[in-house]
């Protein structure tokens, strides 16, 4: 039991430090990735980096030689704003990070293994302790001195290894699930980009006509651009699945065969340029403090990348697109399939958006541009009215309906996987505190079974 495990201060079992200061003037257009809290949170979720920053190879090499850089097993902990999100560095990682925003845990002593410290930091007990030692009211922060004083139970190393083995096995399953979900979203993004950014079907028609082809040739060229199939494969599709071939042809016919000038450059003839806020109904959430929430599982979406906390009640029915409203992550776009409480965020609910999934894909495609729309110096923010500045290209209703139908099939699979992900996460979150407290023990035989499976 944990009552038999010694309590030690975090600073006694691991070195807690930060980075050497990097100035904004040190940023370069390419080189070694440079992470702030936002990027570390994205990495902790397994997501791609939405805003890429870099320092030069030369500067990185100097820091590496004089002070060292994060290596496999080290932990970076978010320490300003969204507190206490840990990221364990992988062997393939090569980056540096912002001082103040992040705290660096490295050089563990012989009584602990890195994985145990990482999982302890993710536990509710640890998160509560981190909250208790944080300073500040408007913008909370964790100091190195405070982190060093936090106490944690340290079981024997073989027990630590068994705990890490059980939880990491669940994490591996979650990671597989997440990657499949990510692939589904990337497939939807690829279609959107091809149709509404690169205009591939339209350009295929134009090329066919300019080569002296007929309108039929232009339609076939668009069908190839949409499906990725060549002429022989289309002929085979027509013979084997006439319904699918007919559906593909109908879609190709919805694309024009000429371009026109617009404020965004050349766009397909007959298509419109409109403000995103005039196309989708973006609404403001209703702020709620943690003190006013009731224990529950409904995510409260505020200014961060992750839910700020959880509540018993909801004010928006899922699925819903959220846009963080304030703070360093103002403008971050997310998709929730479940009911939520939209607090310091804006949202688009499915009931009021006929092209709901297109709206989400469009916003994610423009994520960097949305971050760039932040206003306010001390406290950056983005509100629904700001999306008047985001101009998008919109095709005819029939084409939009086709894309919504096609992308919906990806998100239907994603929703199923998301439900499975939530169940696995709940299992993990139930087991972790019991393992870390000693309430639930893992026999060595279980570890042997897992390592041989």
Rounded to a whole number of angstroms, the distance between the first and last alpha carbons of the chain is 28
pLDDT tens string 11-34: 999 999 999 999 999 999 999 999
Instruction: Write out the E strands in 124-186.
Output: 151-153
Can you tell me which residue has the tokens 């070694």? 32
Task: Answer with the residue of higher pLDDT: 353 or 227.
Answer: 227
Rounded CA separation 308/326 (Å): 12
Backbone angles phi, psi at 340, to 5 degrees: -135, 170
Backbone angles phi, psi at 106, to 5 degrees: -150, 175
- Return the CA Rg of the chain: 25
Alpha helices (runs of H) in 228-379, residue ranges in sequence order: 231-240, 242-253, 276-279, 356-365, 367-371
How does residue 399 score in pLDDT terms, banded at 50, 70 and 90?
Answer: very high
Evaluate whether 117 touches 13 at the Cβ level (below 8 Å).
yes
pLDDT at 159 over 50: yes
pLDDT at 3 over 70: no
How many other C-beta atoms can be found within 10 angstroms of the C-beta atom of residue 310? 16
Q: Which is it for the CA torsion 379, 384, 386, 390, positive or negative?
A: positive
Rounded CA separation 178/47 (Å): 9
Half-sphere exposure of 224 (CA within 13 A, CB side): 16
Rounded CA separation 97/53 (Å): 10
How does residue 444 score in pLDDT terms, banded at 50, 70 and 90?
Answer: low
Q: Which residues of 110-131 are buried (b: 16+ CB within 10 A; e: fewer)?
A: ebbebbbbbbbbbbeebeebbe
CATH of 2-169, one of 1.10.3210.10, 3.40.50.150, 3.40.30.10, 3.90.220.20: 3.90.220.20
pLDDT at 451 over 50: no
Domain with CATH 3.90.220.20 in the chain: 2-169, 276-394
Task: Answer with the residue of higher pLDDT: 441 or 331.
Answer: 331
Give the pTM.
Answer: 0.79
Evaluate whether 299 touches 307 at the Cβ level (below 8 Å).
yes
pLDDT of residue 49: 85
Rounded CA separation 152/7 (Å): 5
pLDDT at 295 over 50: yes
What is the pLDDT averaged over residues 319-327?
A: 95
Mean pLDDT of the chain: 92
Looking at CATH, the fold of the domain delimited by 276-394 is given as Adenine-n6-DNA-methyltransferase TaqI; Chain A, domain 2 (3.90.220)
pLDDT at 378 over 80: no
Rounded CA separation 123/114 (Å): 15
Give which of 191, 140, 114, 159 is closest to 2, Cα–Cα: 159
pLDDT of residue 447: 43
Instruction: Write out the E strands in 325-424.
Output: 333-336, 341-342, 345-349, 391-394
Identify the weakest region by mean pLDDT among 36-50, 74-88, 99-113: 36-50
Evaluate whether 356 touches 348 at the Cβ level (below 8 Å).
yes
Evaluate whether 107 touches 74 at the Cβ level (below 8 Å).
no
How many other C-beta atoms can be found within 10 angstroms of the C-beta atom of residue 163? 25
What's CA 98's distance to the chain center, in Å? 20
Identify the weakest region by mean pLDDT among 130-139, 194-203, 333-342: 130-139
Give me the helix-helix angle, 114-122 and 397-437, nearest 10°: 110
Rounded CA separation 148/173 (Å): 33
pLDDT of residue 2: 52
How does residue 449 score in pLDDT terms, banded at 50, 70 and 90?
Answer: very low
Q: Which residues of 185-206 are buried (b: 16+ CB within 10 A; e: fewer)?
A: beebbebbeebbeebbbbbbbb
Rounded CA separation 16/415 (Å): 40
Environment class of 173 (CB within 10 Å of its CB; exposed 0-12, middle 13-18, buried 19+): middle
Rounded CA separation 278/270 (Å): 18
Write out the two tokens for 58.
């030369």
pLDDT of residue 377: 75
Rounded CA separation 425/306 (Å): 14
pLDDT at 452 over 60: no
pLDDT of residue 450: 43
pLDDT of residue 56: 96
pLDDT of residue 137: 74
């Amino acid at each position: 039991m944990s009552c038999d495990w010694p309590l030690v201060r975090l600073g006694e079992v691991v070195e807690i430090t930060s980075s050497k200061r990097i100035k904004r003037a040190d940023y370069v257009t390419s080189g070694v990735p440079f992470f702030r809290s936002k990027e570390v949170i994205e990495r902790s979720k397994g997501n791609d980096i939405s805003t890429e920053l870099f320092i030069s190879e030369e500067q990185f090499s100097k820091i590496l030689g004089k002070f060292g850089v994060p290596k496999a097993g080290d932990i970076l902990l978010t320490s300003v704003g969204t507190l206490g999100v840990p990221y364990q560095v992988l062997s393939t990682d090569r980056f540096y990070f912002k001082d103040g925003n992040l705290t660096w845990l490295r050089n563990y002593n012989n009584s602990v293994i890195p994985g145990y410290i990482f999982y302890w930091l993710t536990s509710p007990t640890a998160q509560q302790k981190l909250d208790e030692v944080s300073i500040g009211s408007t913008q909370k922060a964790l100091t190195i001195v405070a982190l060093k004083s936090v106490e944690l139970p340290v079981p024997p190393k073989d027990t630590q290894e068994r705990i890490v083995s059980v939880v990491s096995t669940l994490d591996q399953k979650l990671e597989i699930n997440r990657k499949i979900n990510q692939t589904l979203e990337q497939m939807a993004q690829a279609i959107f980009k091809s149709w509404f950014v690169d205009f591939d079907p339209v350009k295929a028609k134009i090329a066919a006509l300019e080569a002296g082809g007929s309108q039929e040739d232009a339609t076939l060229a668009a069908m190839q651009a949409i499906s990725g199939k060549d002429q022989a494969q289309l002929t085979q599709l027509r013979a084997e699945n006439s319904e699918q071939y007919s559906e593909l042809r109908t879609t190709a016919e919805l694309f024009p065969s000429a371009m026109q000038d617009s404020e965004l450059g050349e766009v397909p003839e007959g298509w419109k340029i409109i403000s995103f806020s005039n196309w989708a109904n973006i609404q403001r959430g209703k702020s709620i403090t943690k003190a006013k929430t009731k224990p529950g599982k409904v995510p409260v979406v505020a200014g961060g990348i992750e839910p700020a906390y959880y509540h018993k009640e909801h004010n928006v029915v899922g699925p819903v697109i959220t846009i963080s409203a304030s703070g360093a992550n103002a403008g971050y776009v997310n998709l929730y399939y479940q009911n939520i409480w939209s607090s310091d965020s804006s949202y688009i609910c499915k009931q009021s958006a006929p092209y709901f999934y297109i709206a989400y894909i469009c916003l994610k495609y423009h994520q960097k541009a949305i971050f760039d729309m932040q206003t306010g110096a001390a406290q950056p923010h983005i509100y629904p009215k700001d999306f008047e500045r985001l101009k998008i290209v919109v095709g005819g209703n029939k084409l939009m309906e086709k894309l919504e139908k096609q992308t919906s099939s990806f998100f239907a699979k994603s929703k199923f996987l998301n439900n499975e992900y939530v169940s696995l996460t709940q299992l993990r979150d139930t087991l972790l505190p019991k393992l870390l407290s000693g309430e639930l023990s893992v026999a060595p035989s279980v570890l042997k079974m897992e390592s041989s499976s």
